Structure 1
Amino acid sequence: MTTMTKNSTRLSRRAFLGTMVAGAGLIGLPFSLRAAPAAAGAAIAFDGDALILAGDTLSRSDGSGGWMELSAPAAGGIISLATHPARPGRIAAGLAGGGIALSEDGGDGWEARSQGLPDAPVTAVTVAAAVPDTIYAAIHGDGLWKSEDAGRSWALAMDRPWLADAERDVTALASVDLATGMGGIWIYAGTELGLTRVPDCFCRWQDVQPGDAMDALVSGNPAPSEAPLPEGMIHGLASAASLPTRLYAALPSGIWKSQDAGVVWSQISGTSALAVAVHPTNADQVVAITGDGLVESRDGGANWTALARA
């Protein structure tokens, strides 16, 4: 993987923006039962035991092998999804047309939570592991934005990562409930060049290495990991809420797993993957959108089965 520390020590060039009032507009959404949809988009998340899948359509698994088709938010074009175990039914969706839509009822109804956000695609979204009302949104061409009130107001948290002499868009996000040594936890980010992370005090982007953020400041450039993620685009990241050191990543080269918070990775599928999600209470249950369709593993990636498709 490309070493990122040298380029990631730049502090944010922007002042932290003031809070902004968000708009609203509740939309009631009917649904109907159907088989699992083909995944042409690239967003998936667990809401409890149910799966929320955004592709050509938006669907929710019904727990018995079937799927309920949902109407998408009015703005449409979901490209990222996030949920939190402590807020069942709440789904945050990042929209290709810009902005965030929020559902509090498992996807039946949606409310716009976008006023004040830049008018650009939301390439990734995650909910803070320790504070479920805090949402992070990565904005194409802009930076990482933060809401502490479930999307009603937003403020800029951090510029995009500075990697290989340029700012890079964030393509995937995960909040990882492990101490940074600086009074908070981590936000991990996938980019077109690989994996990086930032403490949620937002002091700087840095390489993933053993130890905490203070160790990284002392060590400077870390020794390269013997088994990092391959260099290149990361399409999806998932942190296991029940086992925070367990991470999964979706890449063009396949699905990857880390047992040590992202320092060392192993490939658990060689099929190109677009998105990945892990069950909130079972770190071994993982579902991914791949070139072969929707697949699931119940044993941490040792074996995979295809989920039914339309």
Structure 2
Amino acid sequence: MKGTSGLSATLSRRAFLSTALAGVGLIGLPPGLSAGSAEVGRVQALAFDGDALLVAGMSLSRSDDGGTSWVSETVPKASDILALATHPDRPGRIIAGLATGGLAISADGGRSWGARNKGLPGEAVTATAVAAAQPDIIYAAVRGDGLWRSEDAGSSWTFVMDRPWLIDAERDPMTLASVNLASGMGGIWIYAGTEAGLTRVPDCFCRWQDVQPGDAMAALASGAEAPPEAPLPAGEPIKALVSAPSAPQTLYAALPSGIWASRDAGVVWSRVTGGRATAVAVHPSDAEYILAAIDGGLLQSRNGGTTWTALAAE
């Protein structure tokens, strides 16, 4: 199951749809944009690198001016990017989970890439995350395999956890988030969004469990699991999940029914906007500033999803 991949860079450009489609409940288009003015792009992942916006899929686009203008960066291994991860303490470092297998890491904001796959299986990496308080610890979910961890910024990898068992089957994580909570082992939980719902595991990697109210570590020890008070909709895949670094209990999730938000680490959720959401990201120092891909449109909110404006990538 071990494999190491070389990288080749190809330059690719793709524009992303700039309009918010009817029924999503958004503000109108920014000045100068018209409906259908940009090509539809398949957005697989979003992230912030400091203040910069990152949009990934069949290509990688970066905006350093809040979405006014965009630059296409090289694409690692000429592969679709399934997942992105960054960390506030490592500006310029971008971690990409690849459809063709393994991870690629850029230290210069996406201009060049290197492989960091020693010991990691060669299958697609469906999700990746960086430990909230330890930026050199990286997690990767490998399709059909499980959860892997690197403690040296990707130089080497070890297997740490089987895939979560939900609704009578193992499920591949579609998204991972490292959440810095006092109730976690060492303060850290790893949350996973799957096609069958949300689950999490403390950094001791002892057992996947439901998100629940109260002292979750005590519940883990006793084996008793209380249901969440207001969970995400049952039966919907969780396409993306993020924890706000500046307010770790604030989570945002992208589902086919829209963008959902939690202010208590995933116990109580509320929908902040409708539409088919495929990706979401939150600014590292502003928990109310979010970027989302909804119904093919690239959108941003500065107030936690109360109102939205459309962006165009070119």
Using structure 2 for the length normalisation, give the TM-score.
Answer: 0.86
109-118 or 253-262: bigger deviation = 109-118
AA aligned opposite 1:119: G
* Structure 2 counterparts to residues 164-183 of structure 1, below 5 A: 164-183=167-186
Q: 2:184, 2:44 → 1: CA distance?
A: 34
Question: The residue matched to 2:248 in structure 1 has which SS?
Answer: coil
Distance 1:180 1:226, change over 3 A: closer
Q: Which residue of 2 aligns with 1:226?
A: 229
The one of 145, 154, 159 aligned to 2:157: 154
**Partners of 2:165 and 2:200 in 1: how far apart?**
12
Among 247, 257, 260, which residue is 1:256 paired with? 260
2:302 to 289, 298, 302: 298
Provide closer, same or farther for how the CA distance between residues 169 and 181 of structure 1 changes in structure 2, counting only shifts above 3 A: closer
Look up the equivalent residue of 1:41 and give its one-letter code: V
CA deviation string 1:81-102 (max 9, x = no partner): 0000000000000000100000
> What is the TM-score when the length of structure 1 is the normalising length?
0.87
Write the distance in 1 (CA, Å) between the matches of 2:79 and 2:240: 20
Of 275, 278, 284, the match for 1:280:
284
Structure with bigger RCO (C-alpha 8 Å, 6+ apart): 2
Q: Is 1:39 equivalent to 2:49 in the alignment?
A: no
Query: Contact 1:29–1:107 at 8 Å: present in 2 too?
Result: no
Which one of the candidate residues 227, 235, 242 is aligned to 2:239?
A: 235
Give structure 1 regions of 4+ aligned residues with deviation exceeding 4 angstroms: 22-38
Tell me the C-alpha RMSD between the 2 structures: 2.4
SS in structure 2 opposite 1:245? strand
* Whole-angstrom distance in 2 between the partners of 1:251 and 1:33: 24
Give the C-alpha shift of residue 162 in structure 1: 1.3
* Separation in structure 1 between the aligned mates of residue 184 and residue 90 of structure 2, nearest angstrom: 27
Paired residues, number: 291
Question: Which residue in 1 is equivalent to 2:51?
Answer: 49
The 8 Å contact of residues 5 and 102 in structure 2, kept in 1 or not, is answered as no
Change in 2 beyond 3 A, CA 1:25/1:309: closer
Identity rate of aligned residues, in percent?
Answer: 62
Q: Provide closer, same or farther for how the CA distance between residues 119 and 227 of structure 1 changes in structure 2, counting only shifts above 3 A.
A: same
Residue-by-residue CA offset, 1:149-184 (whole Å, 9 max, x unaligned): 111100001000012222111111000011235334
Instruction: Report the Cα distance in structure 1 between the residues aligned to 2:268 and 2:50, rounded to whole angstroms.
Output: 28
Matched residue type, 2:298: L
Q: Where do residues 207-218 of structure 1 align in structure 2 (5 Å cutoff)?
A: 207-217=210-220
SS in 1 for 2:204: coil
